[in-house]
Amino acid sequence: MPLTRREFLKVTGVGLAAGSLGMLGFGASGVAQAAAVRPFKLAHTTETRNTCTYCSVACGILIYSMGDRAKNALSNIIHIEGDPDHPVNRGTLCPKGSALLDIVHAPTRLKAPRYRKPGGTEFEEVSWDFALDRIARLMKEDRDKHFITQNAAGTTVNRWTSTGMLAASASSNETAYLTWKVARSLGMVVFDNQARV
Amino acid sequence: MKQAEAPPDASWSGPSHAGVKSPSPIVTPDPALRFAATAARLDQLAAGHPMEPWLRFVARLSRAQHAVATTLAPAAILSAADVTRATEARLPPLAADGHPRAPSWREALTTLLNHISVEPDSPVGANTPVGANTSVGANTPVGANTPVGADSSAKNLHETPLPPATLNAITQLRTSDTTTLETLANNFLRGHIPLSDTAATIFIVAALQVYFTGSAARLAASDLRLLEERALCPCCGSPSVAGIITATGLIPGTRYLYCSMCSTAWNHTRAVCVTCGGTRKVSLQGIEGDPGVVKVEACADCHTYSKLLYQVRDTQVDPYADDLASYGLDLMVSEEGFARHAPNPLLLTGDSEEDIG
């Protein structure tokens, strides 16, 4: 027995007269239906699987956006819900996850690095180059000052406890591996990322 | 305290079950409800619908199917060993185009033709859904509930005589011998339907639906296994008519595809093309400004679409009835260049020169 009844898949052009409607004497119904839909347009939505950004539980979510990615320039997220097929949460979301649509559209959402000068009162937008250079510089200074090579008993520990890192959820194995390597190779111990889960 | 267990001093208002459960993969049909529900829903949808005469006819056909399904049981009985052998090979145990049909399906056809050709005024015409979905007033607008007893007279007003073409098809089947009927059934199940048989095929389909639904109902869902080809029914290997996005049950929001032949429902991952399994170019399309009960999931990779019915938008949604009543959406989506994943066997379409189906 063929598993796929491929013949069923080739139904294409809707031949009203030739189909069940026409042959049974209900052709007028088909014509009326075709006329009835003429004034209407199709609305396109895209459903996209993603992972909640909040915590390392990494619940599956379905994101609905207007338009299909191919045709429309405007693509606006209109709804987010739990993914019922995701084995972690089976469609459920916590209150934070349920409010994801609001952080997507929040006017205060952070979209670029911002910097407040020492003694300054306002944040200003800066370039990624500036931000990364500045972070690297401060990390280096802090590490040089506070790196602990040996504990009180004289055992070598090589730990850096004055700076911590909280990394993202929804990481792949590779991302988790690299995050781990970067943070631990600096001696950082105040550290959490999804590899823990 | 275990996760999601009731705390000792307060009543738990969350889910009744602990932890995260997976949805039942397969739900076998209930022949006592299946056709009555479709008939009731069709009557409900038909009022004021552009295809009202057609929907009323299919409602009448579904009522005849219900009468057959509840009076005689023309079903195949599979041994447990047969079911195990098929599921272990990842094959559908009741393979619609493979298994040796019990001759009783022709008995179903004869009874069905008797029921459908009886004109509405006579007593058999009133042999309408009893017990199933009685809360749905069949001829009332959506939302209005009347007792079922009150609508039998109203229903007769809508049941117009059958068109001559339909009556011819019934006569053709009544005078056909066993071999012809078996050929018609085999042709349909294998997807080759000559143009001249299109009208007769609808009654063959109706009888086969009763036969396969009755047969599937004898199987236990726990004995069945999803096929590797997830688009096909795990029970009889036929394609689905539509998918329902559930609003109730253990995991609301899961998609169940409903088999076009045996009415078995099976779980299928959402936002995945039913035909090709692609996820990249799948888009949801619906008629702008409608209540959003029916949408199609169209895949720009394989250029096919399948229907989705949102139970959360209408709790009375029925995969078979709503699929037929949303034929307008099919027309609009085919104009965009998409082909249907698989036809509803009660509404075959085709080009005039070629075979249907």
The tens digit of pLDDT for each residue in A14-40 reads: 455 568 888 888 988 888 888 898 899
- Positive or negative CA dihedral for B202, B205, B211, B214? negative
Q: Please, what is the average pLDDT of chain B?
A: 84
Q: Chain B window 304-333: which residues touch A at a Cβ cutoff of 8 Å?
A: 304, 327-333
Domains of chain B: 27-124+133-139+164-223 (3.90.1670.10), 240-340 (no CATH)
- pTM, two decimal places: 0.82
pLDDT tops 80 at residue A160: yes
The pLDDT, as a whole number, for residue B7 is: 59
pLDDT band at B353 (very low <50, low <70, confident <90, very high): very low
pLDDT band at B352 (very low <50, low <70, confident <90, very high): very low
The pLDDT, as a whole number, for residue B209 is: 95
Number of neighbours of residue A196 by Cβ within 10 angstroms: 10
Pairs across A and B, CB distance < 8 A: 211
**Nearest residue of B to residue A93 by CA position?**
B20
**Percent of chain B residues past pLDDT 70, beyond the cut:** 81
The pLDDT, as a whole number, for residue A22 is: 84
Cβ contact (<8 Å) for A90 and B287? no
**Residue B140 or B278, more confident:** B278
pLDDT tops 70 at residue B269: yes
The rounded distance, in Å, linking the Cα atoms of A100 and B114 is 58
DSSP A115: E
The rounded distance, in Å, linking the Cα atoms of B61 and B206 is 8
Residues of A whose CB is below 8 A from B270: 47, 62, 83-85
**Residue B143 or B41, more confident:** B41
pLDDT tens-digit profile of A90-125?
Answer: 999 999 999 999 989 999 988 899 999 999 999 999
The pLDDT, as a whole number, for residue B74 is: 66
Q: Please, what is the average pLDDT of chain A?
A: 85
Number of neighbours of residue B182 by Cβ within 10 angstroms: 16
* Section B268-281 average pLDDT: 93
* Section B165-170 average pLDDT: 93
The pLDDT, as a whole number, for residue B77 is: 83
The pLDDT, as a whole number, for residue B258 is: 97
What ipTM does the predicted assembly reach? 0.77
Number of neighbours of residue A164 by Cβ within 10 angstroms: 12
The rounded distance, in Å, linking the Cα atoms of B271 and B48 is 33
pLDDT band at A70 (very low <50, low <70, confident <90, very high): low
The rounded distance, in Å, linking the Cα atoms of B97 and B76 is 14
DSSP A129: H
Contact A133, A151 (CB under 8 A): no
| Pairing status of strand A77-82 against strand A60-66 | antiparallel
The pLDDT, as a whole number, for residue B196 is: 81
Taking the CA of residue A165 and the nearest CA in chain B, the distance in Å comes to: 29
The rounded distance, in Å, linking the Cα atoms of B314 and B134 is 17
The pLDDT, as a whole number, for residue A72 is: 53
Residues of A whose CB is below 8 A from B56: none
pLDDT tops 70 at residue B138: no
Please state which of the ranges B90-99, B193-202, B250-259 shows the lowest mean pLDDT: B193-202
Taking the CA of residue A49 and the nearest CA in chain B, the distance in Å comes to: 8
**Interchain CB contact of B247 with A (< 8 Å):** no
pLDDT band at A10 (very low <50, low <70, confident <90, very high): very low
Q: Chain B window 29-88: which residues touch A at a Cβ cutoff of 8 Å?
A: 50-55, 57
Which member of A16, A26, A90 has the closest CB to residue B57?
A26
**Interchain CB contact of B220 with A (< 8 Å):** no
The pLDDT, as a whole number, for residue B329 is: 94
Cβ contact (<8 Å) for B271 and A9? no
